[in-house]
């Protein structure tokens, strides 16, 4: 009898190369600049965490028991209130809010959490945050890049990812566009997952939630809105986010996460509650980004770049009308590192994403070098 053992399947084998691993050499060249590196390639916060949030974290640090997967009642109430107060989304059921261990984790796992597989189609934006594609690949699902509904033809997708304001482009989807997506998804039986991590950072055009009554008509069936506290609350290191929307879908996600032990730590839940209840620190951070955006935008345009979209969010979607890797080299000569547009799909091949997440001093240095 044969004792041959089948080779283990490597889950990572079907995944693309991790994008930032492809620009290690460019980063080294940029870092060799006499004035030091100005890293505008990633959207990681650099400003302090507000004392109010840190105090809430510290006060909750002596709780030895397991936290609840569905979050404390205070956290869920704070999320519901913040959605209404900040984004004009009233009436969200507290039972339809679920804290998550950073929104990247949720997005990467959502197709699997929903039970999707090889027979299912996941639609992602044509220029998109890479984790939408990765999540579909991890579930073994098929992927279609499409910004318009006409490309889908007669096929019924299982999941449609939206991202407005967009990472990387800063594009904002209007109410009419969102309404069409919701109507289409409901006709086809698809779930719509709207990544709204940048919703609080509108500049040239107001952004709206998929849960906004003007979009959903007050009916959240089949809709999930994903929110992060990494951006305007500077909580990237806390891995703090939540998903809200369809109560049945949120309950389904909750049940799987309970079995999997996917729980936000209790001190983080307390910090999230404080952050969601306070708008002053969020407004202050938004103004920091607004000032940095004005400086960088002016400098890039002055250096011959064209800025496309960039109506909201933490990035400027810039081009010199050449392959993005050539632009990356041009910037590296000046000690500046950006993210190449091809990270986000073939349609980004002539753009670079320039992040606003650097200190005022580094933003000023980038402006001078440009």
148: helix, coil or strand? coil
Residue pLDDT, tens place only, 114-130: 999 999 999 999 999 88
Q: Which of 232, 206, 276, 225 has its CA nearest to residue 98?
A: 225
Alpha helices (H) along the chain: 24-31, 51-59, 73-87, 103-113, 130-139, 175-188, 213-216, 247-260, 266-277, 280-302, 324-332, 360-369
pLDDT at 1: 47
Give, in order, the Cα–Cα distances in Å from 33 to each of 39, 101, 294, 344, 366: 12, 37, 24, 27, 12
Q: Residue ranges of the chain with pLDDT lower than 50?
A: 1-2, 5, 8, 13
- pLDDT at residue 17, rounded to an integer: 66
Residue 184 has what pLDDT?
92
Phi, psi of 355, rounded to the nearest 5 degrees: -85, 150
- Domain definitions of the chain by residue range: 17-48+281-369, 51-277
Of 31, 34, 29, 35, the C-alpha closest to 361 is 35
Q: State how far the alpha carbon of 37 is from the alpha carbons of 43, 336, 362, in Å.
A: 16, 6, 8
pTM of the model: 0.89
The topology under which CATH files domain 17-48+281-369 is 3.90.1150
Let me know if domain 51-277 sits in CATH 3.40.640.10: yes
């Amino acid at each position: 009898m044969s004792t041959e053992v089948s080779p283990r399947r490597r889950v990572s084998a079907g995944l693309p190369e991790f994008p930032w691993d492809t620009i290690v050499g460019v980063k080294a060249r940029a870092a060799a600049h006499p004035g030091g590196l100005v890293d505008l390639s990633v959207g990681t916060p650099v400003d302090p965490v507000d004392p109010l949030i840190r105090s809430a974290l510290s006060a909750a640090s002596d709780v030895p028991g397991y936290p609840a997967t569905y979050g404390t009642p205070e956290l869920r109430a704070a999320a519901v209130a913040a959605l209404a107060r900040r984004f004009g989304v009233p009436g969200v059921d507290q039972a339809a809010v679920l804290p998550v261990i950073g929104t990247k984790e949720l997005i990467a796992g959502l197709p699997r959490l929903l039970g999707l597989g090889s027979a299912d189609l996941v639609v992602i934006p044509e220029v998109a945050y890479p984790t939408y594609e990765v999540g579909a690949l991890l579930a073994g699902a098929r992927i279609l890049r499409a910004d318009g509904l006409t490309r889908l033809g007669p096929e019924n997708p299982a999941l449609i990812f939206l991202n407005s304001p967009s990472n990387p482009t800063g594009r904002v989807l209007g109410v009419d566009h969102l309404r069409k997506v919701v109507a289409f998804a409901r006709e086809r039986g698809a779930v719509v997952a709207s990544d709204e991590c940048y919703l609080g950072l509108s500049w040239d055009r107001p952004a709206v939630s998929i849960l906004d009554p003007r979009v959903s008509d007050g009916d959240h069936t089949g809709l999930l809105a994903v929110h992060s506290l990494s951006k305007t609350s500077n909580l990237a290191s806390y891995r703090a986010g939540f998903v809200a929307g369809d109560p049945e879908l949120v309950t389904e996600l909750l049940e799987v996460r309970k079995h999997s032990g996917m729980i936000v730590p209790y001190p983080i839940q307390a910090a999230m509650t404080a952050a969601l209840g306070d708008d002053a620190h969020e407004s202050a951070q938004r103004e920091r980004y607004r000032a940095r955006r004005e400086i960088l935008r002016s400098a890039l345009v002055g250096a011959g770049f064209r800025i496309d979209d960039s109506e909201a969010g933490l990035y400027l979607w810039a081009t010199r009308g050449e392959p993005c890797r050539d632009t990356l080299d041009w910037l590296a000569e000046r000690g500046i590192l950006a993210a190449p547009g091809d990270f986000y799909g073939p349609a980004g091949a002539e753009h670079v994403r320039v992040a606003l997440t650097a200190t005022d001093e580094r933003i000023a240095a980038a402006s001078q070098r440009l």
